[in-house]
Structure 1
Amino acid sequence: MKNVKQQLMRWMTNQLQLPADVMMDLPRITMIGQLHIYIENHQGVLRFSNQELRLLLKHGQLLIKGDGFVIKTILPEELLLEGRIDQVLFIPDSPSK
């Protein structure tokens, strides 16, 4: 059932030419070089340190690794992170969910 819903949402997004991040609850990530990353549509901070940020997404997690991290702005669904960004990884939910 979940698969059918995702296929229907993709079809509607393509046919109606709507932004996928809005229709399918996807995160929007804007990265400027290795210095800034702006993430919209997250569901909360799971872990934060000087070298790692882990965010909860609707369908997984986002892991950002680097050094000298400072959260410059944090709002309920938006976050601006500064520092040296080395990796940005998407970790999908396990299939058992």
Structure 2
Amino acid sequence: MRKWSAHLKKWFAEVSDIPEDVVLGSPRLTLIGQFRLSIENYRGVLAFSKTELKLAMNKGELHIAGDDFVLETILEREIVLQGRVDDVRFVDE
């Protein structure tokens, strides 16, 4: 049943003008230069330090590595990271 639901949502996103990240809850990452990263549709913060940020996503995790990290904004569905971003990786469950 979940598989059909996911297919239906994907089809709906394709035939409508609604972005896929809104319909499916997919993460949306916006990197401005190398020093500001906005992440939408995350589930929670798993780890944070000056050199790493790990976020829980709908499916898996998002790992961000770099230096001088500061969390500028933390909202329910969006987080904004300041600092030098060197690596962004999606890790499957």
Please, what TM-score do these two structures have when normalized by structure 1? 0.89
User: Can you list the C-alpha shifts for 1:56-91, whole angstroms capped at 9, x where unaligned?
Assistant: 111111110011111111112211101110011111
Unpaired runs of 5+ in structure 1? none
1:14 counterpart SS class: helix
Task: Say whether residues 1:58 and 2:93 are aligned partners.
Answer: no
Q: What is aligned with 1:16?
A: 16
Unpaired runs of 5+ in structure 2? none
Q: Give the drift of 1:17.
A: 2.6
Cα distance in 1 between the residues matched to 2:56 and 2:91: 10
Cα distance in 1 between the residues matched to 2:33 and 2:3: 35
1:59 counterpart SS class: coil
User: Can you list the C-alpha shifts for 1:9-52, whole angstroms capped at 9, x where unaligned?
Assistant: 11111112311011001111110011000111111100001110
Cα distance in 2 between the residues matched to 1:59 and 1:28: 13
Q: What is aligned with 1:73?
A: 73
Q: Which amino acid aligns with 2:8?
A: L
Q: Which amino acid aligns with 1:45?
A: V
Alignment RMSD (CA, Å): 1.1
Q: Give the drift of 1:92.
A: 2.1
After the TM superposition, list the runs of 4 or more consecutive aligned residues in structure 1 that deviate by more than 3 angstroms. none
Cα distance in 2 between the residues matched to 1:42 and 1:52: 16
